[in-house]
């Protein structure tokens, strides 16, 4: 018994030692917090987590979401004990080309469930994954249930997003979620008592969580707390582990160097501790700082053996289930295929002259009948952003009943977006979320991570311009489109444009853009939609077919005979204003006019040069119209062109008045183009 306890402490110390060694060698990193969390990580990974050491991406695994990405050395160390990472991998910590970046970047094949670093998002990803798990268990049975573990620190507890995550997890009764809070009283620049005096346990209890507070270094208490969490079916669990920052550190004189803010974010030697003496104090050898103790090796070999047995007996159970339930098994496989659903989008019926948010609603209603593994959600705007087209055909997810497919997130856009990331990371479910475009700002930190991680989250952003009208400038997006399209310019680590941003010009384009959104399984997609009705764009024959041009990012909507005198271009509802302006130009000046709809500049710029030149001939003047900042169209209509955009915040007034005041009228299109061409 005594021996058994010792070896676990030794394993935890080994994690502390590797952590110190990694940061020391890299000459940068965050050792203190990771050294405090080592005990929990060792017990969790060795005795509780179900996963396949040979296939860390196995879909039936328990998940572990790290929130404080700066504690990466702790995670990398335990993955090294498992042989999932090598000693060389951790010797390359934070170096170019390594698989051990400063903050973990999602890598299922190496047991990294999420990209973490922006505090608060990691544990909210876990809430999303726990929702996905409940959703799947409801459909496939208890046998596929698994636990979502997450690890949070003082920073994550303080970040506002934790309010949304805590509320939603409690409200939905996510008994499959277990969160460890590394409560070490220290944060980056101060002790926590400088900034907070809340009763965190009471706060989470008030949200409906099961909460225990333990000594985070006491392995029996950790086990008891985890065991108790396993019994909780309808409440998420919070284990507040009181830990010691930089546990085991000593200075040159051998005095304790624990509980120091200075060990948060630099090698322990730089902070003032003695690397050598601290190594020895923890049973290590400074000459061989990346050593794994022989008995810890044996311990982990034994653990790996047991994990393999656990996985193989699970696989037997799975096989039996599949044989007895072939239809369900095929469905499960399909859910996790990550492929876009096979749908005939031409069957979507659109009414004439509607707002693109209404057109999106029609598409979502169509999806509700066809896509079983989609969760649509909204931050309390379903009836405005029109995600309610989907909601009307399903029910909301609620405590004890995950048979529906709609998540009512409440007013918490950032939380919602991070939950969507978690759903996508879990796999098996397609996440869609809506809010007003102006509030995409609130989602942005999670959108950025979705772009970095390459997650196929879909954003439904309605009320796309000052034409929101009477609600005034707080609700009228101006700079948002230029801002979000920067992610179209930014490449992800696969070398692709990190996000697809689509602003359809009418109902037919909206259907086509939704198809692109679902087919885009490698990056997030945004749909930017109008509040107000839009006249359908002209079509010689079949508008649905014409609108397929959006697949190239930009296409010719209406053309002149022969070489155009001018090309008019825009996205969204401004295209229809161009159509009316073009009529005036033809009538009064007999001009040859081409109209181009550009739902995505980023996508258009990835087409071959010939196509780009065929749509926007280099020697023809261009006029761009945008309800956003003029810079939104600079890359398309700059140079030999002119752009009419909005250079100020909007005002509260009926949108038709604003159109007049701001010059978004056919008459102003006429005037601007006449000036451009000096006619």
Find the farthest-apart pair of alpha carbons in the chain and give their distance in angstroms, rounded: 96
By CB under 5 A, the residues from 374 to 413 that bind Mg ion are none
**Separation between Cα atoms, residue 528 and residue 25, nearest integer Å:** 47
Whichever of 115 and 600 has its CB closer to ligand TPP, that residue is: 115
CB of 185 to Mg ion, least distance (A): 7
Q: Does 200 bind Mg ion (CB under 5 A)?
A: no
The single residue listed with the structure tokens 């982990």 is: 300
Torsion angle in degrees (nearest 10) through CA of 665, 670, 674, 679: -150
Residue of 133, 221, 258, 413 marked active site? 413
Among 11, 12, 22, 33, binds ligand TPP (CB under 6 A): 33
- Mutual orientation of helices 219-231 and 31-43 as an angle, nearest 10°? 60
**Separation between Cα atoms, residue 285 and residue 17, nearest integer Å:** 9
- Decide: 350 and 362 in contact? Cβ < 8 Å: yes
Whichever of 81 and 240 has its CB closer to Mg ion, that residue is: 240
3-state SS record for 128-147: HHHHHHHHHHHHHCHHHCCC
For ligand TPP, which stretch binds (CB under 6 A), given 112-120, 377-385, 537-545, 625-633? Answer: 112-120
By CB under 6 A, the residues from 70 to 99 that bind ligand TPP are 70
- Decide: 136 and 428 in contact? Cβ < 8 Å: yes
DSSP structure string for 467-520: GGGGG-GGG--SSHHHHHHHHHHSB-TTSSBS-EEE--SSHHHHHHHHHHHHH-
Which alpha helices (H) appear in 210-324, and where do they start and end? Answer: 219-231, 268-271, 275-281, 294-324
Whichever of 104 and 564 has its CB closer to Mg ion, that residue is: 104
- In whole angstroms, what separates CA 573 from the centre of its chain? 28
Whichever of 188 and 330 has its CB closer to ligand TPP, that residue is: 188
Catalytic residue status for 413: yes
CB of 86 to ligand TPP, least distance (A): 26
By CB under 6 A, the residues from 158 to 187 that bind ligand TPP are 159, 184, 186-187
Which alpha helices (H) appear in 143-217, and where do they start and end? Answer: 154-158, 161-171, 200-206
CB of 36 to Mg ion, least distance (A): 8
- Decide: 446 and 164 in contact? Cβ < 8 Å: no
Whichever of 261 and 571 has its CB closer to ligand TPP, that residue is: 261
CB of 155 to Mg ion, least distance (A): 7
Q: Which does 552 bind (CB under 5 to 8 A by kind): ligand TPP, Mg ion, none?
A: none
CB of 192 to ligand TPP, least distance (A): 7
Among 101, 104, 118, 524, binds ligand TPP (CB under 6 A): 118
CB of 182 to ligand TPP, least distance (A): 6
Query: What are the C-alpha distances in Å from 475 to residues 77, 478, 648, 665?
Result: 47, 10, 14, 21
**Separation between Cα atoms, residue 163 and residue 198, nearest integer Å:** 13
The token pair at 21 is 């060694």
By CB under 6 A, the residues from 223 to 252 that bind ligand TPP are 245
Residue nearest to ligand TPP (CB): 33
**Separation between Cα atoms, residue 557 and residue 547, nearest integer Å:** 8
- Decide: 511 and 350 in contact? Cβ < 8 Å: yes
Q: Does 454 bind ligand TPP (CB under 6 A)?
A: no
Whichever of 71 and 144 has its CB closer to ligand TPP, that residue is: 71
Q: Does 39 bind Mg ion (CB under 5 A)?
A: no
Q: Does 261 bind Mg ion (CB under 5 A)?
A: no
Q: Which does 666 bind (CB under 5 to 8 A by kind): ligand TPP, Mg ion, none?
A: none
Residue 347, burial from CB neighbour count under 10 angstroms (0-12, 13-18, 19+): exposed
Residues in a beta bridge with 191:
186
- Per the document, the length of the chain is 679
Whichever of 68 and 454 has its CB closer to ligand TPP, that residue is: 68
Binding pattern for the stretch 260-289 against ligand TPP, x by CB under 6 A and - elsewhere: ----x-------------------------
Whichever of 119 and 226 has its CB closer to ligand TPP, that residue is: 119
CB of 69 to ligand TPP, least distance (A): 7
Whichever of 32 and 170 has its CB closer to ligand TPP, that residue is: 32
- Decide: 78 and 34 in contact? Cβ < 8 Å: no
Q: Which does 264 bind (CB under 5 to 8 A by kind): ligand TPP, Mg ion, none?
A: ligand TPP
Q: Does 477 bind ligand TPP (CB under 6 A)?
A: no
Q: Which does 284 bind (CB under 5 to 8 A by kind): ligand TPP, Mg ion, none?
A: none
Q: What is the CA radius of gyration of the chain?
A: 28
Q: Does 154 bind Mg ion (CB under 5 A)?
A: yes
Among 115, 125, 150, 153, binds ligand TPP (CB under 6 A): 153
CB of 631 to Mg ion, least distance (A): 41
CB of 191 to Mg ion, least distance (A): 9
By CB under 6 A, the residues from 52 to 71 that bind ligand TPP are 68, 70
Q: Which does 118 bind (CB under 5 to 8 A by kind): ligand TPP, Mg ion, none?
A: ligand TPP
Among 14, 20, 24, 32, binds ligand TPP (CB under 6 A): 32
Whichever of 153 and 356 has its CB closer to ligand TPP, that residue is: 153
Q: Which residues contact 327 (CB under 8 A, 6 or more apart)?
A: none
CB of 247 to Mg ion, least distance (A): 12
- Pairing between β-strand 555-558 and β-strand 593-597 as defined by DSSP bridges: antiparallel
CB of 103 to ligand TPP, least distance (A): 8
Whichever of 245 and 268 has its CB closer to ligand TPP, that residue is: 245
**Separation between Cα atoms, residue 676 and residue 474, nearest integer Å:** 33
**Separation between Cα atoms, residue 549 and residue 599, nearest integer Å:** 10
For ligand TPP, which stretch binds (CB under 6 A), given 152-160, 266-274, 452-460, 618-626? Answer: 152-160
Task: Please tell me what DSSP assigns to residue 256.
Answer: B
The terminus-to-terminus CA distance of the chain in angstroms comes to 94
- Which stretches of the chain bind Mg ion, using CB under 5 A? 153-154, 184, 186-187
Which amino acids are annotated catalytic?
413
- Which stretches of the chain bind ligand TPP, using CB under 6 A? 30, 32-33, 68, 70, 117-119, 153-155, 159, 184, 186-188, 245, 264
């Amino acid at each position: 018994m005594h021996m058994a306890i010792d070896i676990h402490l030794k394993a935890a110390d080994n994690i502390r030692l590797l952590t110190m060694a990694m940061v020391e060698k890299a000459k940068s990193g965050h050792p203190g917090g990771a050294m405090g969390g080592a005990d929990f990580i060792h017990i969790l990974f060795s005795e509780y987590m179900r996963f396949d050491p040979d296939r860390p991406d196995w879909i039936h695994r328990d998940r572990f979401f790290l929130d404080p990405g700066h504690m990466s050395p702790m995670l990398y160390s335990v993955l090294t004990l498992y042989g999932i990472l090598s000693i060389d991998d951790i010797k390359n910590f934070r170096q170019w080309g390594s698989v051990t970046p400063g903050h973990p970047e999602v890598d299922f094949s190496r047991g990294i469930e999420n990209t973490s670093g922006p505090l608060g998002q990691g544990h909210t990803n876990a809430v999303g994954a726990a929702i996905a798990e409940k959703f799947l268990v409801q459909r496939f049975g208890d046998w596929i249930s698994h636990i979502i573990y997450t690890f949070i620190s003082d920073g994550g507890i303080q970040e506002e997003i934790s309010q949304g995550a805590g509320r939603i997890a409690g409200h939905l009764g996510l008994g499959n979620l277990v969160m460890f809070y590394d409560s070490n009283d220290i944060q980056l620049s101060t002790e926590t008592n400088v900034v907070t005096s809340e009763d965190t346990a009471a706060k989470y209890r008030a949200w409906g969580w099961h909460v225990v507070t333990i000594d985070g270094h006491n392995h029996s208490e950790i086990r008891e707390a985890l065991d108790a969490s396993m019994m909780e079916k309808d409440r998420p669990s919070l284990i507040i582990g009181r830990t010691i920052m930089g546990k085991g550190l000593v200075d040159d004189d051998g005095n304790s160097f624990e509980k120091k803010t200075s060990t948060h974010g630099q090698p322990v030697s730089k902070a003032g501790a003695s690397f050598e003496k601290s190594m020895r104090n923890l049973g290590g050898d400074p000459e061989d700082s990346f050593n794994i103790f022989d008995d810890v090796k044996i311990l982990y070999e034994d653990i790996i053996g047991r994990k393999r047995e656990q996985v193989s007996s699970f696989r037997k159970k799975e096989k039996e289930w599949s044989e007895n339930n072939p239809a369900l098994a095929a469905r499960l496989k399909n859910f996790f295929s990550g492929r876009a659903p096979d749908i005939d989008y031409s069957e979507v019926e659109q009414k004439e002259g509607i707002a693109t948010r209404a057109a999106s609603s029609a598409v979502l209603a169509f999806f509700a009948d066809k896509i079983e593994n989609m969760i649509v959600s909204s931050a309390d705007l379903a009836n405005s952003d029109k995600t309610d087209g989907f909601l009307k055909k399903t029910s909301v997810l609620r405590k004890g009943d995950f048979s529906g497919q709609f998540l009512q997130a409440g007013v918490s856009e950032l939380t919602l977006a991070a939950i969507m990331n978690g759903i996508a990371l879990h796999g098996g479910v397609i996440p869609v979320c809506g809010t007003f475009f102006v509030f995409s700002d609130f989602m942005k930190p999670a959108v950025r991570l979705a772009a970095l991680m390459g997650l196929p989250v879909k954003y439904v952003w309605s009320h796309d311009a000052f034409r929101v009208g009477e609600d005034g400038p707080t609700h009228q997006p101006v700079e948002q489109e230029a801002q979000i399209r920067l992610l179209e310019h930014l490449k992800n680590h696969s070398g692709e444009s990190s996000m697809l941003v689509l602003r359809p010009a009418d109902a037919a384009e909206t259907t086509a853009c939704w198809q692109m959104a679902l087919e885009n399984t490698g990056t997030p997609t945004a749909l930017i939609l109008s509040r107000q009705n839009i006249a359908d764009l002209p079509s010689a024959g079949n508008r649905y077919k014409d609108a397929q041009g959006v697949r190239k990012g930009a296409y010719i909507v209406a053309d002149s005979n022969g070489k155009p005198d001018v090309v008019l271009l825009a996205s969204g509802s401004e295209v229809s204003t161009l159509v009316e302006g073009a009529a005036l130009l033809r009538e009064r000046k007999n001009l040859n006019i081409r109209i181009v709809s550009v739902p995505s500049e980023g996508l258009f710029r990835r087409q071959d040069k010939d196509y780009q030149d065929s749509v926007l001939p280099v020697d023809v003047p261009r006029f761009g119209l945008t309800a956003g900042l003029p810079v939104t169209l600079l890359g398309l209509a700059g140079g030999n062109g002119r752009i009419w955009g909005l250079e100020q915040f909007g005002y509260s007034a009926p949108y038709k008045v604003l159109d007049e005041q701001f010059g978004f009228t056919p008459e102003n299109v006429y005037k601007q183009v006449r000036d451009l061409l000096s006619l």
